[in-house]
Structure 1
Amino acid sequence: MPEPEPAEWPLQGLDVPALKAGGWQPMPFAEFVLKIHGRCNLACDYCYVYESADQTWRTRPTAMAPEVLAATTARVAEHVSDHLLEDVSIVLHGGEPLLAGEAAIAGAVEQFRAAMPPPCDVEVSIQTNGVLLTDAMLAMLDEHDVGVSVSLDGDRDGHDRHRLRANGRGSHSDVMRGLNRLAGSHRRLYRGLLCTVDLDNDPIRTYEALLETGPPRIDFLLPHGTWSAPPPRRPVEGGGTPYAEWLITVFDRWYHTPRKETGVRMFEEIMNVLLGGQSQSENVGLSPVAMLVVDTDGTLQQVDSLKTSYAGAPETGLNVFDHSFDEALWHPGVVARQIGRAALAPTCETCGVRDICGGGAYAHRYREGSGYLNPSVYCPDLMKLIEHIGRTLQRDLARAQPTRSN
């Protein structure tokens, strides 16, 4: 059983009944992350599932059983009907979801698509380390129209520093074999790359290595950490902005190229919010987060990166057999990620980049004793990065203004 949750914000201090009484209503879930397989064929040393404070994976089933999948499918369909949703996203996740095998994955996709009431459109994607992207696996994913995102941390040296097999052997060559298959005859499925920032990797070399297979998008991820367990080389008492400097180097290389080579999600989301748009990322801006995780045993969880906070942090106490997804909508942790500015720390209120930063990734705000009512542990880096992007946009917009003649 998971450890009991500490009485910290938002479990203590966020008055959900008062919000409800005042007429506030949550946004229905539109993205469902399914942990169809709970184990992995790699042993990445920064993995938030296996290497963090939460070790509940040890007590959960290896794979999602048919009865859990059936109950999950029914709950999603119920949620779609209750809220008249026109589209939902199903993300097959792990562990390493491809370990579930071709037949199980194909069956799950078919089950979800068949169960959704019309006219709801179902987009299915999978997040994988890429090692098992064989020709047969890709043919099945292609047949069932499943988008594929792959984790890759740059060139061989950069990737193999952390993304290793249990025997210590690097995974880069195996990942690249799978990626080249995906980027070849199955390119229509290629959704992009996820890259965890490593300050020991050269930013330009990393970025250019990621471009080799022509990804439609790159998603740079800050290493998970909190105020109580800081990320590598991120001083908690000031002392520099190493992650901003790394990302700014990549931004300048990406932004100033004459021809667009790929999208970079973090940069594009920041630019979008700076220009008055709405963020589509849970890590940028103040848009409500409408995502729910279903683990292999059918338990309902908040975003699973909260595993870096403390044992049991993502838990809601609910499951697909006994509870509707509407019940999860009123969990304090879910509510906290939908109420925008009301969930930010007092120190964020006067910050000039508050609405663009949005407090940063929710998991990165945790501090033992006060919970998630804190700025991001990456606060100085986020501020420097956003200000740099803002100045760049302002300069280019000013140049684009037509010159007035007298």
Structure 2
Amino acid sequence: MEIRRQNDIIAFRAPGELPVAFHARNLEVADISEELWNTLGGVEDSELQSVLNEWNSEINPAVTTHKLAREIRSLTINVTQICNLKCTYCAAGGDGTYGAAQTKISVEKTLPQLKFFLDKLPDSGTFRIGFIGGEPLLYPEGIRAIANYVKLMTAGRNLRAQFAIVTNGTLLSDANVELLKEINCNVSVSIDGAAEYNDISRPMKNGQGSTALVIEGLKKLFAVKSELGSITLHGVFTAQNMNLVKAYEFYRQFPADTYEFTYSVSDLNQEASDSFTREMREVAAIAYSQGGEEALRKINFFNRVFSALDSQRRTENFCGAGKSLLVVDARNNLFSCPWDVGNASEKVGQGSEVSEAALDKYAQPLIEQNNCQSCWARFLCGGGCMFVHKEATGSKNQKNGQFCERQRTLMETAILYFKKCRQTDIQKDSDYGKH
């Protein structure tokens, strides 16, 4: 892939294809002529240079920016800090405990905590609860109690309650699936592909494989799919398993709504990072060839980029950590990020007490905190994952170069596929324009 850039105009060219330009600030995609491509490459042409200057300086009033105010609308709750698996890449203390095992959260302490945050919200919008662990389905009674309380507290208010869970899928019993139906839960099941890969990376604590149990649970989930929210199959890939294409082929046998491919948050292997982007591009090629835009958008990464380009909505924050999102650990401590659990220095509160001073450091948009203003992908990326940055550099606001490289490479790919999917809508010759 060849890339040329002039200020906020970036042009990409894949082998054997016509060049495509992207306006980083306006989130516009356009086909461009050979002449304009050459001008971006340094060929002198005063008329076309004027065209580039005009497009670069243009302010498109249709473009909006997704801004996050300090209003907690999402709580991620560690209902347990124990797990029945021992995943090889576990970043939660290696065993789901975050270094401090806790069998289950105290519902009695959690309900007043929920009330504290709910009382602060106006009667509009959505209040989101995410259940995580450890393995959250080790404590289904706690999930039910919390969900029922939130539903009760939002009843009669123009405030929508939404629930999600991240589970390893081994405990999807009839009773637990019924619980997820009751709360119309969005379900993300972690599975890294077929048994030959997943059993190695995600074994049970006794060393046995977990895949057969997960597949049985998935069958139960998909049998009641219409009564749930969304179902996502989520894989984590490391230097020991970079078989994304095989994972994608495995996932496609199930009628999931979305697929999520994640590079391990703590893996700093450059060769593995490069392999991840190559595999993701191959997955994209397979998806596009077999199902066009619909298949591409079942992959979360591409769906997010397509949505941003369609809506021309800029992202200033990779996530809502410390702004719209807080995390409640199994001891009712508050953190800004799920991966901060267990790190006392990152604690921002306890129970119904929140340190405004601790949250002040998250007030600025991430693209500003992380000095991303010169990156062409800034409004698609939003500054990147703070935990991933910290794992590599020791600071949440000092960028992980590998992460940035992966993001930009995959966004180039997404933009090119966006152009292909919108080909009939994009008509550009030697001038600039909008999709």
Q: TM-score range by the shorter chain?
A: 0.7 to 0.9
Distance 1:147 1:384, change over 3 A: closer
- Contact 1:293 / 1:303 at 8 angstroms: preserved in 2? yes
Distance 1:211 1:329, change over 3 A: farther
| 1:174 corresponds to | 213
| Alignment gaps of 5+ in structure 1 | 1-23, 226-230
Whether 1:69 aligns to 2:83 is no
Aligned equivalent of 2:303, options 265, 268, 273: 268
146 and 276 in structure 1: CA distance in 2 versus 1, 3 angstrom threshold: closer
TM-score (norm 2): 0.73
Alignment-derived partner of residue 14 in structure 2: none
Deviations 1:1-44 (A, max 9, x none): xxxxxxxxxxxxxxxxxxxxxxx993312111111111111111
Higher-Rg structure is: 2
The structure 1 residue matched to 2:410, chosen from 366, 375, 385, is 385
Counterparts of 1:403 and 1:387 in 2: how far apart (Å)? 19
Return the match for 1:42 from 53, 75, 85. 85
Which of 410, 419, 427 in structure 2 is aligned with 1:394?
419
Is 1:354 the counterpart of 2:385? The answer is no
TM-score when normalising by structure 1:
0.78
1:185 alignment partner in structure 2: 224
- Deviation sequence 1:266-293 (CA, Å, 0-9, x none): 1111233344533789648x99952110
Q: Does 1:244 align with 2:271?
A: no
1:142 corresponds to: 181
Higher normalized strand content (fraction of residues): 2
RMSD: 3.2
Distance in 2 of aligned mates of 1:397 and 1:369: 39
Q: Secondary structure at the match of 2:164?
A: strand
Equivalent residues in 2 for 1:100-249, closer than 5 Å:
100-101=139-140, 103-116=141-154, 118-189=157-228, 190-198=230-238, 200-225=241-266, 231-234=267-270, 241-249=274-282
The answer to whether the 8 A contact 1:269-1:280 is kept is no
* SS of aligned partner of 1:219: strand
Superposed CA offset, 1:106-125 (max 9, x none): 22211111123612111112
Count of residue pairs the alignment pairs up: 357
The verdict on how the C-alpha distance between 1:396 and 1:135 changes in structure 2, with shifts beyond 3 A counting, is: closer
Task: Give the 3-state SS of the residue equivalent to 1:161 in structure 2.
Answer: helix
Query: Counterpart amino acid of 2:270?
Result: R
In the TM superposition, 1:13-28 aligns within 5 A as: 26-28=69-71
Task: Determine if contact 1:35/1:94 at 8 Å carries over to the other structure.
Answer: yes
Percent identity of paired positions between Structure 1 and Structure 2: 19
Cα distance in 2 between the residues matched to 1:107 and 1:162 = 33
Partner of 1:88: 127
Structure 1 residues 66 and 393: alpha-carbon distance in aligned structure 2, compared to 1, 3 A threshold: closer
Q: Note closer, same or farther for the CA distance 1:214–1:152 as it changes in structure 2 (3 Å cut).
A: same
Tell whether the 8 Å contact from 2:242 to 2:279 is kept in structure 1 after alignment. no
Which whole-Å CA distance do the structure 2 matches of 1:274 and 1:62 have between them? 44
What displacement does 1:367 show?
A: 6.3
| 1:373 aligned to which of 381, 393, 397 | 397
Retained in 2: the 8 A contact 1:294–1:300? Answer: yes
8 Å CA contact 1:218, 1:264 repeated in 2: yes
Corresponding letter in the other structure for 1:194? H
The one-letter code matched in structure 1 to 2:350 is N
CA distance in 2, matches of 1:169, 1:195: 19
Q: Kindly indicate whether residue 315 of structure 2 is the aligned counterpart of residue 315 of structure 1.
A: no
Equivalent residue number for residue 363 of structure 2: 335
Q: Which runs of 5+ in 2 are unaligned?
A: 1-66, 430-435
